[in-house]
Structure 1
Amino acid sequence: MDRRDFLGGIGLGATLAGAGAVASASAAPPRPHAARGPLRMKLGCQSGPSTDDRFAFFARYGVTNIAARAKVSDGRLASTVAELAALKDMAIRHKLSLDILDPVMLPSSHIDREANPAIMMADSPQRDRDIEQFQTLIRNCAAVGIPCIKYNMSILGVLRTGHVQGRGDAEFGAWDAATATLDKPLTRAGPVSADAFWERIAYFLDRVVPVANEYKVRLACHPHDPGTPPQGYQGVHRVLGTIDGLKRFVGIRESRYHGLNFCQGTVSENLPDPKTQIFDTIRWFGSRGKIFNVHFRNIVGGRGKFREAFPDEGDIDMYRALMTYHEVGYDGMLMPDHVPDVPGKPEAAMQSFAFAYGHIRGLMQAAAHALPAA
């Protein structure tokens, strides 16, 4: 692929990859604004592992609600009722609410490193067996009272071209399409066109959304991080890497139980000018009840070139973003996801999480003071 074509496609990605977006999603009536009510969001986290030490860390720094992974034994993909109940009991001991399950299947990993790739590779009959495991997981979560499962429909995982120096000794993940390697070999999935990717998504949703409807468990999908041009990258068309693609996605098998793990950082990465565009994007998905969880992350830059950032020093006005979630009636978790690394200091990640918790809690307290009491 010619590099000029690759870069030229960046600006078109938000339109072309979402062509044919399902009308039912865009026509759905917005939910009433709740701007005058009390703040109902919660401070959350999803970092692992699921241990007493980690859960105590959450509670120590003001986290009240979590997404977490249960232990799974015997090579299964679906946690049993007993395994899920043990995870929930541990959360309760630390006065935490287990709001979302992070399953073993459908993670954000690259397909060449994924142990269970059948669903995303359309490898039947194994993908049907794996989907049956996901259906079982939905039923088991309902039995224990876990109201949501998050997942990814990913082949390339999280793409970055390197790290950049941040303040102090912190390093941030970055993506620059101008320096991306264009001739990387295909993955073991081979070429995956936009049509093929949409077929795999629809095949999965057709089989799991009816079960989610029956058992009233929400399914929260993460966007592709980041988007790439319509002609693809490593032979893969990342259809959930544009805003139009996400609009089309939530319109497939339309349901109150089918929506997004709305990664604000990733959505910002897929906007040409996120510092002005992110708020209306939140409104579009939030007013339709499609935001089930929020990764409350900031970035510097936008589509085609960005770096991650501490929440207080990126391009996005995080207080305004929080108030926009409130405006559309969002009452779920705000949580950090990616935090900066410090080479040679593994403990720095936990310090960064604690910093992010404090920043989010401070914004929530400021918002609560600005809003009328219940």
Structure 2
Amino acid sequence: MRMTFRWYGEDNDSVSLEQIKQIPGVEGLVWGLHHRLAGEVWTEEEVMEVKAQADKQGFHLDVVESINVHEDIKLGLPTRDQYIENYKESLRQVAKVGAKVVCFNFMPVFDWTRTDLYKEMEDGSTALFYEKAKVEQMDPYELIEQTTTSGYTMPGWEPERLKTIEASLKAYETVTEEDVWENLGYFLNEVLPVAEAEGIKMAIHPDDPPWPVFNLPRMITSEKAIERYLSLSDSPAHCLTLCSGSLGANPNNDVPAIIRRFHDRIAFAHIRNVKIYDNGDFIESSHRTQDGSVRIDDVVKAYHENGFTGYARPDHGRHIWNEECRPGYGLYDRALGIMHLWGLWDAYELVKQKEEA
């Protein structure tokens, strides 16, 4: 397991590279050009600038999250071909700084959905929260307004992207889930050969949450859906980002079992916990197994017993110790999460060594 940490760039993150450097076992940054809109080409000058920043602290840039897929590609519009060509060029550019994995998603309109960015927990910390009944009753524009008031640009909720939200929602009124699957296949057929030539694994992220929101299609939601997705291509560049929190929000998803079945296709692991309530609400808890509903101990065990050598990162953390940060992306709780994951990994490694002795 190769530990990484998501970083949004200089002047766009409350966490510095100097701070990340002090977290044991972190070897690389999960990065992106967050000022670039979906469909725009990432330039060599820009990616080299990030590399120069990472080099100062000895971090690699093996994992990109993410080169966003333009909505016209997901909708299958005639304009998609130019945006796909732009995507291919961006892949070629990130390969120049050593990128080996590109985490992406194909979620229509909204990359992820929460109803409260700072829901207070029993211990006084706050975390990202999803209230099921509220989503079912609220207008999507109300959700947009409250999600863009944190002071930081949120991935998938960038102001420029939201300017076209009304047109996007309208466009999906006649688009079915099967249509989106077909459009996803078209996209992969075009980009996978380029990714393979550049030594990059295209690792799709599950839908978050793993069920339809605002009547929009959702595809990567379950073990069965992952099986269908992986059957679309036998290219070695065709892989998964396995997010235990996204899939784990549905209690019917056995995340450790999914890891054991598809471990050889997982290029990137997002490891986080969620606490699910009986009414369907969920909140993002600490990484500790007992604090949530996902068996994080078994998640790590599933990776360890299958000799996982891919990249991992702690995903969303709580906001603790009065830290002011991008929602879900502070320093303290993600650093604690890393140490919990390393503790589990080291324990399983010790057991293995004893069994082999």
Q: Structure 1 length normalisation: TM-score?
A: 0.75
* Cα distance, 1:211 vs structure 2: 1.4
Match of residue 157, structure 1, among 104, 111, 117: 111
1:291 aligns with 2:276: no
Change (3 A) 1:356 1:167: farther
Matched residue, 1:331: 309
1:99 aligns with 2:62: yes
* Cα distance, 1:72 vs structure 2: 6.7
Matched residue, 1:77: 40
For 1:285, give the aligned amino acid.
Answer: F
> What are the residue-to-residue correspondences of 1:213-362 with 2, within 5 Å?
213-228=196-211, 232-272=212-252, 277-286=254-263, 289-301=264-276, 304-312=280-288, 313-341=291-319, 345-347=323-325, 349-362=330-343
- What SS does the aligned partner of 2:171 have? coil
| Alpha-carbon separation, structure 2, partners of 1:264 and 1:122 | 29
* Cα distance, 1:45 vs structure 2: 1.2
- What SS does the aligned partner of 1:61 have? coil
For 1:151, give the aligned amino acid.
Answer: F
| Alpha-carbon separation, structure 2, partners of 1:322 and 1:337 | 14
* Cα distance, 1:69 vs structure 2: 1.6
Answer whether contact 2:297 2:344 (CA < 8 A) is retained. Answer: yes
For 2:125, give the aligned amino acid.
Answer: A
| Alpha-carbon separation, structure 2, partners of 1:73 and 1:181 | 32
* Cα distance, 1:216 vs structure 2: 2.0
> What are the residue-to-residue correspondences of 1:193-232 with 2, within 5 Å?
193-228=176-211, 232=212
Identity %: 22
Change (3 A) 1:121 1:332: same
Answer whether contact 2:320 2:332 (CA < 8 A) is retained. Answer: no
- What SS does the aligned partner of 2:103 have? strand
Could you list the per-position Cα deviations for residues 25-77 of structure 1 after superposition, in whole angstroms to 9, with x for gaps in the alignment? xxxxxxxxxxxxxxxx1221113225796222211112212211247779982
| Higher relative contact order (Cα pairs below 8 Å, separated by 6+ residues) | 1
| Alpha-carbon separation, structure 1, partners of 2:6 and 2:323 | 21
* Cα distance, 1:362 vs structure 2: 2.5
Could you list the per-position Cα deviations for residues 298-336 of structure 1 after superposition, in whole angstroms to 9, with x for gaps in the alignment? 112289443211111222332322121122231122212
- What SS does the aligned partner of 1:339 have? coil
Q: Which runs of 5+ in 1 are unaligned?
A: 1-40, 107-115
Matched residue, 1:13: none
Could you list the per-position Cα deviations for residues 136-160 of structure 1 after superposition, in whole angstroms to 9, with x for gaps in the alignment? 1222233332111111111232122
* Cα distance, 1:219 vs structure 2: 0.7
Match of residue 84, structure 2, among 110, 114, 131: 131
| Alpha-carbon separation, structure 2, partners of 1:139 and 1:310 | 37
| Alpha-carbon separation, structure 2, partners of 1:243 and 1:309 | 23
1:366 aligns with 2:347: yes
Instruction: Tell me how large the CA RMSD over aligned residues is.
Output: 3.0
- What SS does the aligned partner of 2:190 have? helix
Answer whether contact 1:269 1:299 (CA < 8 A) is retained. Answer: yes
Matched residue, 1:33: none
| Alpha-carbon separation, structure 2, partners of 1:302 and 1:239 | 23
Matched residue, 1:28: none
Q: Which runs of 5+ in 2 are unaligned?
A: 141-165
| Alpha-carbon separation, structure 2, partners of 1:158 and 1:174 | 12
Aligned length: 316
- What SS does the aligned partner of 1:298 have? coil
- What SS does the aligned partner of 2:194 have? helix
For 2:89, give the aligned amino acid.
Answer: T
Matched residue, 2:147: none
Could you list the per-position Cα deviations for residues 216-244 of structure 1 after superposition, in whole angstroms to 9, with x for gaps in the alignment? 2111111100122xxx4323121122321
Answer whether contact 1:101 1:146 (CA < 8 A) is retained. Answer: yes
Moved over 6 A (4+): 71-76
Matched residue, 1:60: 22
| Alpha-carbon separation, structure 2, partners of 1:102 and 1:49 | 12
